[in-house]
Amino acid sequence: MPRRFLVRLPAPARRADPAGDRAARPVTGFPAWPSSADGLVELYPRNPAPTLRVNFIASADGAVTVDGLSGGLHGPGDKEIFDSLRMVCDALVVAAGTVRAENYDALRLTPAAREWRLAHGLPEFPLMVIVSGSLNLDPDQLVFSDAPIRPIVVTTTRADPSALTGVADVIVAGDDQVDCAAAVRELHARGATQLLSEGGPQLFGALLDADLVDELCLTVSPLLVGGGPGRISSGAVTDPRPMSLRHVLTLENMLFLRYTRQGT
């Protein structure tokens, strides 16, 4: 009878996961919906490295809006994730089109979220950053007039910032369009390295074009909307880039996906 040898294979190296402190592995099951706010933070953590995370909601057939707004896509769970992503970021970056269309309020957090930030050594509020080429923004809109800290507006050399200098700090990056890479460098220089963008589609397209997107948190709403509305990104055609799926969460019929840049 042949002798049998036991071959011991080396244990797989446990590699720190910069995108979530969990071993990098394929997604094989759905975690249960977290029972606490801390559970959500574990699934959408602050990362050790500078990160640009983008958060969108789309219908099951890919629409970014219903009747021109994202509100018609909302459902159970997405507000919790939306709020948690805001809570853990250093700066929220939103394009002027979305600020105008969605009539953005000031970036104010719940008392519990502010406490969480202070307990984790963060400023009480994240920075609010608005990207606009035209600076066609209303200084009386709550996003400015009710802001707990002065928002930042990122614009180009061609814009006249005088109407906004009373309510916001203005960063100039680029001539025709905002140079997104330069804007991100400037935010990093100000200590904001965990960046969250809530879009909209043109800004997402510009960020993809500059290869700045490290993470996409995508909520899929169980609706078929039909043609008409656009997708979550628009603008220049970019090379497809592969992403890793970090988790899948569901609540009722809503689906929550977290993708990170491959190799991170």
Ligand X SMILES: NC(=O)c1ccc[n+]([C@@H]2O[C@H](COP(=O)([O-])OP(=O)(O)OC[C@H]3O[C@@H](n4cnc5c(N)ncnc54)[C@H](OP(=O)(O)O)[C@@H]3O)[C@@H](O)[C@H]2O)c1
Decide: is 64 part of the binding site for ligand X (CB under 6 A).
Answer: yes
Decide: is 76 part of the binding site for ligand X (CB under 6 A).
Answer: no
Nearest CB to ligand X, comparing residues 73 and 113: 73
Shortest approach of ligand X to residue 58 CB, angstroms?
6
How far apart, in Å, are the Cα atoms of 36 and each of 43, 60, 84, 106, 120?
11, 27, 11, 26, 17
Interface with ligand X by CB under 6 A: which range of 12-20, 84-92, 94-102, 188-196? Answer: 94-102
Q: Which of 19, 43, 85, 95 binds ligand X (CB under 6 A)?
A: 95
CA 62 to chain centre: 18
Shortest approach of ligand X to residue 214 CB, angstroms?
18
- Calpha distance 159→217 (Å, rounded): 32
Decide: is 57 part of the binding site for ligand X (CB under 6 A).
Answer: yes
β-pair type (243-251, 215-221): unpaired
- Calpha distance 73→59 (Å, rounded): 6
Shortest approach of ligand X to residue 196 CB, angstroms?
12
Closest CA to 16 of 45, 36, 39: 45
Interface positions with ligand X (CB under 6 A): 56-57, 64-65, 68-70, 73, 95-98, 101-102, 131-134, 136, 177-178, 180, 198-203, 206
